[in-house]
Amino acid sequence: MSLIIKNNIEFNTNNLDNEMLLKLYKSMLKPRMIEEKMLILLRQGKISKWFSGIGQEAIAIGVTMALDKEEYILPMHRNLGVFTTREIPLNRLFGQWQGKASGFTKGRDRSFHFGTQDYKIVGMISHLGPQLGVADGIALANLLKKNNKVTAVFTGEGGTSEGDFHEALNVASVWQLPVLFCIENNGYGLSTPTNEQYYCKDLADRGKGYGIESHIIDGNNVIEVYTEINALAESIRKNPRPVLIEFKTFRMRGHEEASGTKYVPKELMEEWAKKDPIENYQSYLRDHGVLTEEEEVKMKEEIMQEIHDNLEIAFNEEFIDPNLTDELNDVYKSFVYQQIKGNNITKEIRLVDAISEGLKQSMQRYDDLVIMGQDIAEYGGVFKITEGFVEEFGKNRVRNTPICESAIVETAMGLSIAGMKAVMEMQFSDFVTSGFNPIVNYLAKSHYRWSQHADVVIRMPCGGGVSAGPFHSQTNEAWFTKTPGLKVIYPAFPYDAKGLLATAIEDPNPVLFFEHKGLYRSIRQDVPTEYYNLPFGKASTLRNGEAITIITYGAGVHWALEVLNDNANINADLIDLRSLQPLDTKTIYASVKKTGKAIILQEDSLFGGISSDISSLIMENCFEYLDAPVKRVASIETPIPFATQLENQYLAKGRFKNELLSLLQY
């Protein structure tokens, strides 16, 4: 067949045989027909929100058909065609949209917000952009395994304005990751037209700025999409690299059905309606005798029947019967701690050395563990924790990153999806704000949403007393203890730090591992030289007394010890929490029930810190045993200041002794 132009769509069979041409057609018909049915159900109030991909089918179908089934695809909210082309049983898709147990999220998330390892699809989170960095992580795993696989990830043109897009492209470029970045430029991001979204002519041009090869493809021409992506995917498998594609297309319906299309000029709608990817392709196939009327009728009947049968299954399925235990149990992937004892040979080392040693021994233990962070390779990290690691483990596993916390958290997530382990070093815990979204929304929620764990440890050098001002001194554990799905560890001693870091890396769940910089070089202890681990959720009682319970962690432990060492007459239990999430309430309650008084010391400012929750827990569980109100001692309600005099006033340390004495006298 020669080149045929229909409504400005240039169809050229590119040597595809008739079978393939028909397969492309049927693959586009299926999501279109499902959508048409869904729109009816939506009007009948039988499903919730619907994001339409009508008019954009050629992109999802062409890309999915061009990839192998073992290659991951990360679609967005208009890419039903990815799911149908990977042949997910329709009853499960319908069950997902109805919040039924047969869906992919046990009713915990809606629409296309799910992934499935069985079909190598990783669904989006609402925040759009994180998908792109997660694709980097999967691609990094493929690159390291040298398995010649390509990963395709989608974004709308609106999503390209997010920082995640730029970070992900930059990382993919610097590391030459085999990712196909697919922008579906459909003219509008909700109601925002492209000229209010970006100022360049074509988004494909952005590739140049990142040193990434880019192409523009007619997104309404399924043959062009399929053949070009097929060729590109083949080339990326042989020569791993990122490629940016801008698909030109149009969103024919509202952002979601309720939002309508009033803001779209009528002429624009009419112009694009003429370019419908299915109608034009159908008439092209018909004109050339590839598709007969009978065949088409048969195809449609088959699809209609499949939709009908599967809808019946989904509608007949009972609604979910909530079970509290199931809900709580699915927040984390189950992990059974198995004790590994260290050897008897110990060496006195500093906290910083213990972390370094623990990390190194985990790298030796897990071949698939990758460490990422700024300046961590040859330079050894700003605190020198990874010094010498490149020599031992090579640059593939000890990776310097660009300054892009979000993309690296997302990359770590992608590594986990591909079955690897990741440790990320935040240069300072303060900078976690730049990677906050993927931590609290992606890593934390992933297991609960679709049973995908995040085998990621984020190391967090934190804490004050170092005259480093508001952006290099924070202790921000409270931002994470509040988020279900994360584990939060905060050791105060070298022995605990080494053993708990080992467990953090063993544990397949996301762990925020706080390391107080002020303790790095000031605290020494005898530590077993070999690998060992310690359980999460177990506090350690450092002093035993009868008069009062002191509960603290991190630097607070050393502040309390100083007071107790200088005042031998204070008869206190001193509890070092070590693990904030999970929290060892058993040890806390047992101690408070014994002493009748509790004081909680935290380095962070008071309001909303974990001391407030511990205080409430004590009130709720030990009230009858209390001889005094529970006291919280914390830093003042300002940012942490730089000048030593101001910082001393800020920190809780200076107030702790007086508060302790006055509670003792209550």
Ligand X SMILES: Cc1ncc(C[n+]2csc(CCOP(=O)(O)OP(=O)(O)O)c2C)c(N)n1
Stretch that binds ligand X, among 151-159, 340-348, 610-618, 655-663 (CB under 6 A): 151-159
Q: Residue 30 or 251: which CB sits closer to ligand X?
A: 251
Other residues' Cβ atoms within 10 Å of the Cβ of residue 10: 12
Q: Residue 125 or 468: which CB sits closer to ligand X?
A: 125
CB of 267 to ligand X, least distance (A): 20
Closest residue to ligand X, Cβ-based?
156
Residue at 548: amino acid letter: I
Q: Rounded to whole angstroms, how far apart are CA atoms 432 and 555?
A: 20
Q: Rounded to whole angstroms, how far apart are CA atoms 241 and 140?
A: 11
183: its two tokens: 């922008």
Stretch that binds ligand X, among 152-160, 584-592, 601-609, 643-651 (CB under 6 A): 152-160
Sign of the CA dihedral 427, 160, 11, 86? positive
CB of 276 to ligand X, least distance (A): 17
Q: Rounded to whole angstroms, how far apart are CA atoms 72 and 152?
A: 7
Query: Residue 360: left if φ>0, alpha if ψ -120 to 50, beta else—which one?
Result: alpha
Q: Which residues are paired to 398 by β-bridges?
A: 371
Cis previous bond, 582, omega within 30: yes
CB of 262 to ligand X, least distance (A): 16
580: its two tokens: 């904030």
**Residue in the structure block whose two tokens are 């205080």:** 615
Q: Which of 157, 425, 496, 604 binds ligand X (CB under 6 A)?
A: 157
CB of 122 to ligand X, least distance (A): 17
Q: Can residue 30 be called a binding residue for ligand X (CB under 6 A)? A: no
Q: Can residue 496 be called a binding residue for ligand X (CB under 6 A)? A: no
Rule CB under 6 A: which of 61-100 touch ligand X? 78
Q: Are strands 579-581 and 548-552 parallel, antiparallel or unpaired?
A: unpaired
CB of 449 to ligand X, least distance (A): 15
Q: Can residue 110 be called a binding residue for ligand X (CB under 6 A)? A: no
Q: Can residue 297 be called a binding residue for ligand X (CB under 6 A)? A: no
Q: How far is CA 310 from the centre of its chain?
A: 32
Q: Can residue 464 be called a binding residue for ligand X (CB under 6 A)? A: no
CB of 128 to ligand X, least distance (A): 5
Q: Which DSSP helix (H) or strand (E) runs through 635?
A: strand 631-635
454-476 per-residue burial string, b: 16 or more CB within 10 A, e: under 16 = bbbbbbbbbbbbbebbeebbbbb
CB of 491 to ligand X, least distance (A): 34
Q: Which of 127, 286, 300, 333 binds ligand X (CB under 6 A)?
A: 127
Return phi, psi of residue 346, to 5°. -120, 165
Q: Residue 111 or 186: which CB sits closer to ligand X?
A: 186
Q: Can residue 189 be called a binding residue for ligand X (CB under 6 A)? A: yes
Q: Which of 255, 558, 632, 657 binds ligand X (CB under 6 A)?
A: 255
Q: Which of 21, 59, 128, 291 binds ligand X (CB under 6 A)?
A: 128
Stretch that binds ligand X, among 42-50, 121-129, 235-243, 313-321 (CB under 6 A): 121-129
Residue at 360: amino acid letter: K
Q: Residue 251 or 578: which CB sits closer to ligand X?
A: 251
Report the 3 state secondary structure along 190-247: CCEEHHHCCCCCCHHHHHHHCCCEEEEEECCCHHHHHHHHHHHHHHHHHCCCCEEEEE
Contact 543, 573 (CB under 8 A): yes
Q: Which of 447, 472, 516, 558 is catalytic?
A: 472
Q: Residue 188 or 513: which CB sits closer to ligand X?
A: 188
Q: Is 472 marked active-site?
A: yes
CB of 67 to ligand X, least distance (A): 20
Interaction pattern, residues 203-242, with ligand X; x per rule: CB under 6 A:
----------------------------------------
Q: Which of 8, 17, 43, 126 binds ligand X (CB under 6 A)?
A: 126
Which residues, including other chains, have CB under 8 Å from residue 426's CB and lie 6 or more apart? 373, 405, 432, 435, 458, 459, 460, 461
Contact 93, 128 (CB under 8 A): no
Q: Can residue 190 be called a binding residue for ligand X (CB under 6 A)? A: yes
Stretch that binds ligand X, among 1-9, 153-161, 455-463, 623-631 (CB under 6 A): 153-161
Q: Which of 103, 159, 178, 373 binds ligand X (CB under 6 A)?
A: 159
Q: Residue 187 or 381: which CB sits closer to ligand X?
A: 187
Sign of the CA dihedral 353, 432, 133, 439? positive
CB of 95 to ligand X, least distance (A): 24
By CB under 6 A, the count of residues binding ligand X is: 14
Reduced to 3 states (helix: H, G, I; strand: E, B; else coil), residue 373 is strand
Residues near ligand X (CB under 6 A): 78, 126-128, 156-159, 186, 188-190, 251, 255
Which residues belong to the active site? 472
